[in-house]
Amino acid sequence: MDFENIAKTAKAASLKIADVSSDLKNKALVKIADAIEKNKLQIFEANKKDLQEAEKLVNSGDISLSTFNRLKLDENKMRDMIQGIRDVAKLDDPVNKNLFIRELDQDLVLYKVSCPIGVLGIIFEARPDVIAQISSLAIKSANAVILKGGKESINTNKTILTVINQTLDEIEGFPKNVLQQVFTREDVSEMLKCDNYINLIIPRGGNKLVKYIKENTKIPVLGHADGICHIFVDETADIEMAIKIIVDAKTQYPSACNSVETLLIHENFPDKNKLLAALQLEEIKLESNPESWAFEHGDTTLAFKTVKNINDAIEHINTYGSGHTDSIITTNKDNAEKFMNQVDSAGVYYNASTRFADGFRYGFGAEVGISTNKTHARGPVGLDGLTIYKYKLIGKGHVVKDYVDGTKKFHHKNLS
Amino acid sequence: MDFENIAKTAKAASLKIADVSSDLKNKALVKIADAIEKNKLQIFEANKKDLQEAEKLVNSGDISLSTFNRLKLDENKMRDMIQGIRDVAKLDDPVNKNLFIRELDQDLVLYKVSCPIGVLGIIFEARPDVIAQISSLAIKSANAVILKGGKESINTNKTILTVINQTLDEIEGFPKNVLQQVFTREDVSEMLKCDNYINLIIPRGGNKLVKYIKENTKIPVLGHADGICHIFVDETADIEMAIKIIVDAKTQYPSACNSVETLLIHENFPDKNKLLAALQLEEIKLESNPESWAFEHGDTTLAFKTVKNINDAIEHINTYGSGHTDSIITTNKDNAEKFMNQVDSAGVYYNASTRFADGFRYGFGAEVGISTNKTHARGPVGLDGLTIYKYKLIGKGHVVKDYVDGTKKFHHKNLS
């Protein structure tokens, strides 16, 4: 099937799954979890094939050891993957929720109702557990999806999606072709051009992948390329709190997008040297090269800079930051308010580690990704980010003419 | 100033206006309304110049008489324009609203707070009253804006924006350069490329303008190109209600985007001939040419087609429609539910005229535009469509490590 046909098929499936009940969607998710459990040996077998191929690529230097490790599906990852699907089944249904009900006039009632977006294009790299996670989020939010995984995990991805789709095919009333998979680079370029059928692209992977996608499509992209997070240590910061938060934000998981990359210190902060010494004791590599101000290190390197005042700190962040997550450490409430209002980032924190920027930590129960967009969804995105809304208007023969000529008047009364 | 500098200036202004209080914004709006009132003779004078130029273009056939009429600013339009600004001042502030407050753990509280998007690019055609309306919506929602009006209204636009900006310059504490104007086609192509600085483009004008913009930018575009709305007359529809609604939806304002373009009639509807005859009596021109199924007539022409059943009606709409607004006329509640759930449009109506699709009629108090997008904002868009949100997290030295190693646990309790 050529890509356009796949996309058309996805569009048709999206219209069908939009009307599937919560019960049927949750039943499907539980059955998928059971089926993956039952077929896990087959999935491990497929993963072994991928790992054999990948090992050669590690030896030839074509892929990194960390890519190889992400590719590997062990009992723990398998268990987490299956549990993840069961957890999604238990979440509230994000669609068919009344966002408001408003009586425009007698017997003329407007409902703003959440509904799926339509067709999602998901492009992801080595981690094969992503395919099960994204499939379950798509089903829960009633979107059709076209998946393109990394070529290193092709056997694992194929096997997992086959297990999932065989399960769905056996469920009465569940529409066909909600989940489809493509495999080549050519498919990706077709996908990026396919704005007639695909409503949202979600890239899950490194900076380069996300940048490439954002630069090559007119379809809305949900995600973030860079995670250049800052911590500003204000004049009045508590030194112990500053050390604790910076160490957490830099070392707890250095390659995460919400790890801190640049430390800004108020020039009148009295314990600057003590702070820097304490960070070095925790094996944080400090550097003050301006070239690293717009750079995501991904390791325990931390850029630092002394700033004159809070205004300079805010300006630095709004200039060099990526709009992801930035934190102020201070005992001055007014400065904290100013920082949170004027820093233009998805997350603006006060005396807390940047590492809290995460859908599960925020209590969303699921995470679609973290977005630095300024429209649709920003910050950690839960299932709601895969929905939009429609307006249902129910009348009894109401016409606009009556309101234009003054026969009738709107009263716009919100109901429950 | 070249376009990139204009865009940079807008970005800087957007960061400043984001932190301006509701009071100051409302004060600015009232002062703008007063200033336009005070300077209306000067504005009429500028409009006269535009009209003199436009008259030549009408005579030479370069612009239509309806464009000429839209260009003309009379006492009524002036009064409505001034009142519109005063009305926006009275609306609730769409930014700095707490969308939720959630205690993640003791002393660790997450606020989801609405905030402006940043920099808007607004491209509009002949109507010069748009410049005052958009300026007031931008101020209210705390966004900076770059405006590009039609060249036919250049003198009127320049004069109105000068009056507005002189007023803003005199208000203490109100940031500079929130509203800027550009004039050339080259500026438009620069604007469409400027995704580093511009966060949302809103085209206000005809189908061709919107299509051109959507096809030539990676910046999110809020709007709709086509308004191909349908009415489906079901088997059990009440004939009188059907006539009343269709006449309203087609003739009350035929060039509006929410006017009906295609009538679908169930083949078992017993009064089909009576219905068509009644519509013709109201000077509706019926036609059954399949070529007009994806066509916005903009006049009293109405395409019609007989369909076998509701499924065919839904499929027709999802194939040929533009996702704007579609209505079913029926006495069968189940069919109405099915129609509203399965038609993939921003507005899905049951026994009501499609002409209700409008921000004021929905009770939004303002309308930014009508969107057929599947992300961010859909349907009639009020001030909320010019906002996004940020997450403020306030802790007391909280770090993620404690939650990963099990020392602490999230309790995710929603407050107020």
Q: What is the longest distance spanned by two Cα atoms in chain A? A: 81
B98 contacts in chain A (CB < 8 Å): none
Q: Which of A20, A197, A221, A398 to mutate to test the interface with B (most CBs of B within 10 A)?
A: A398
B199 contacts in chain A (CB < 8 Å): 374-375
B194-207 residue pLDDT tens: 999 999 999 988 88
Q: What is the dihedral of CA B200, B202, B208, B213, to 10 degrees?
A: -20
DSSP element (H, E) containing B29: helix B22-38
Strand order in the sheet with B285-287: A413-415, A98-105, A108-116, A387-398, B347-352, B325-329, B229-233, B260-266, B301-307, B285-287
A207 in any annotated domain: yes
Q: Which residues pair with A104 in a beta bridge?
A: none
- Indicate the residue of B238, B380, B400 with minimum beta-carbon distance to A356: B400
- Residue B10, min C-alpha distance to chain A (Å): 14
Contact B134, B9 (CB under 8 A): no
% of chain A surpassing 70 pLDDT: 100
pLDDT at residue B206, as a whole number:
83
pLDDT at residue A95, as a whole number:
97
Contact B134, B377 (CB under 8 A): no
Are residues A379 and B395, on separate chains, in Cβ contact within 8 Å? Answer: no
pLDDT at residue B65, as a whole number:
86
* Whether the predicted pLDDT of A112 surpasses 80: yes
- A contact residues 186-205, partner B, Cβ 8 Å cutoff: 199-200
- Residue A341, min C-alpha distance to chain B (Å): 6
A410 contacts in chain B (CB < 8 Å): 361, 363
DSSP collapsed to 3 states, B281-327: HCCCEEECCHHHCCCCCCCCEEEEEEECCHHHHHHHHHHHCCCCEEE
Q: Which of B375, B381, B408, B409 to mutate to test the interface with A (most CBs of A within 10 A)?
A: B375
3-state secondary structure of B357: coil
Task: Give the HSE-up count for residue A165: Cα atoms under 13 Å, Cβ half-sphere.
Answer: 17
Are residues A138 and A208 both part of a single domain? yes
Are residues A218 and A233 both part of a single domain? no
Chain B touched by A245 (CB under 8 Å): yes
- Residue B374, min C-alpha distance to chain A (Å): 6
Distance CA A47, CA A70 (A): 11
Q: Which residues pair with B307 in a beta bridge?
A: B266
A139 in any annotated domain: yes
Q: What is the mean pLDDT of residues A307-315?
A: 98
pLDDT at residue A121, as a whole number:
97
- Indicate the residue of A248, A352, A394 with minimum beta-carbon distance to B108: A352
B141 in any annotated domain: yes
Strand order in the sheet with A200-204: A179-182, A144-148, A119-124, A200-204
Are residues A348 and B390, on separate chains, in Cβ contact within 8 Å? Answer: yes
A399 in any annotated domain: no
B319 in any annotated domain: yes
B245 contacts in chain A (CB < 8 Å): 397-399
A341 contacts in chain B (CB < 8 Å): 18-19
- Indicate the residue of B249, B361, B376 with minimum beta-carbon distance to A410: B361
- Residue A52, min C-alpha distance to chain B (Å): 33
**Number of structural domains in chain B:** 2
Contact A339, A322 (CB under 8 A): no
Contact B108, B398 (CB under 8 A): yes
Which pLDDT band, with edges at 50, 70 and 90, does A223 fall under? confident
A37-60 residue pLDDT tens: 999 999 999 999 999 999 999 999
The CATH code of the domain that includes A335 is: 3.40.309.10
Are residues A212 and A280 both part of a single domain? no
Q: Which of A110, A364, A390, A408 to mutate to test the interface with B (most CBs of B within 10 A)?
A: A390
Chain A touched by B1 (CB under 8 Å): no
Among A111, A161, A115, A134, smallest CA distance to A20 is for A115
Are residues A38 and A72 both part of a single domain? yes
Mean pLDDT of chain A: 95
Distance CA B118, CA B116 (A): 6
pLDDT at residue B225, as a whole number:
83
ipTM: 0.96
Are residues A242 and A352 both part of a single domain? yes
Are residues A347 and B318, on separate chains, in Cβ contact within 8 Å? Answer: no
B214 contacts in chain A (CB < 8 Å): 218
Are residues B390 and A357, on separate chains, in Cβ contact within 8 Å? Answer: no
Are residues B19 and B153 both part of a single domain? yes
Are residues B111 and B212 both part of a single domain? yes
The alpha carbon of B297 is separated from its chain's Cα centroid by a whole number of angstroms, namely: 21
Chain B touched by A398 (CB under 8 Å): yes
pLDDT at residue B127, as a whole number:
82
Are residues B238 and A397, on separate chains, in Cβ contact within 8 Å? Answer: yes
A319-358 residue pLDDT tens: 999 999 999 999 999 999 999 999 999 999 999 999 999 9
Number of CB pairs, chain A paired with chain B, less than 8 A apart: 226
Chain B touched by A282 (CB under 8 Å): no
Q: Which residues pair with A304 in a beta bridge?
A: A263
Are residues A102 and B397, on separate chains, in Cβ contact within 8 Å? Answer: no
- Indicate the residue of B352, B355, B392 with minimum beta-carbon distance to A348: B392
Are residues B347 and A410, on separate chains, in Cβ contact within 8 Å? Answer: no
A191 in any annotated domain: yes
Are residues A399 and B118, on separate chains, in Cβ contact within 8 Å? Answer: no
B283 in any annotated domain: yes
Which pLDDT band, with edges at 50, 70 and 90, does A119 fall under? very high
Helices (H) and strands (E) in chain A, counts: 14, 16
Are residues A356 and B410, on separate chains, in Cβ contact within 8 Å? Answer: no
Are residues A362 and B104, on separate chains, in Cβ contact within 8 Å? Answer: yes
* Whether the predicted pLDDT of A74 surpasses 90: yes
DSSP element (H, E) containing A304: strand A301-307
Residue given tokens 């000068």 in the structure block: B162
Chain B touched by A215 (CB under 8 Å): yes
Give me the domain span that covers residue B202: 3-222+368-389
Are residues A220 and B218, on separate chains, in Cβ contact within 8 Å? Answer: no
B145: phi then psi, degrees, rounded to nearest 5: -145, 145
DSSP collapsed to 3 states, B205-230: CCHHHHHHHHHCCCCCECCCCCCCEE
Q: Enter the pTM of the model.
A: 0.96
Are residues A247 and A299 both part of a single domain? yes
Are residues B141 and B286 both part of a single domain? no
- A contact residues 304-323, partner B, Cβ 8 Å cutoff: 318
- Indicate the residue of A15, A355, A393 with minimum beta-carbon distance to B400: A355
- Indicate the residue of B110, B252, B340 with minimum beta-carbon distance to A362: B110
Are residues A208 and A324 both part of a single domain? no
Looking at A15-29, A131-145, A339-353, B202-216, which range is the least confident one?
B202-216
A389: phi then psi, degrees, rounded to nearest 5: -145, 160
Contact B3, B190 (CB under 8 A): yes
Contact B360, B91 (CB under 8 A): no
Are residues B198 and B234 both part of a single domain? no
CA-based nearest residue in chain A for residue B216: A218
Q: How far from B98 is each of A187, A252, A296, A302, B388, CA to CA, in Å? A: 42, 30, 31, 33, 12
* Residue ranges, chain B, pLDDT below 50: none
A404 contacts in chain B (CB < 8 Å): 252
B348 contacts in chain A (CB < 8 Å): 390-393
Distance CA B170, CA A67 (A): 59
A376 contacts in chain B (CB < 8 Å): 220, 375-376, 388
- Residue B54, min C-alpha distance to chain A (Å): 31
Chain B touched by A340 (CB under 8 Å): yes
A379-391 residue pLDDT tens: 999 999 999 999 9
A146-205 residue pLDDT tens: 999 999 999 999 999 999 999 999 999 999 999 999 999 999 999 999 999 999 999 988
- Residue B323, min C-alpha distance to chain A (Å): 10
A234 contacts in chain B (CB < 8 Å): none
Are residues A401 and B252, on separate chains, in Cβ contact within 8 Å? Answer: yes
A234-292 residue pLDDT tens: 999 999 999 999 999 999 999 899 999 999 999 999 999 999 999 999 999 999 999 88
Chain A touched by B375 (CB under 8 Å): yes
Are residues A19 and A148 both part of a single domain? yes
Contact A126, A71 (CB under 8 A): yes
DSSP category for residue B198: -
Chain B touched by A241 (CB under 8 Å): yes
The CATH code of the domain that includes A158 is: 3.40.605.10
Contact A356, B310 (CB under 8 A): no
B403 in any annotated domain: no
Task: Give the HSE-up count for residue B245: Cα atoms under 13 Å, Cβ half-sphere.
Answer: 29
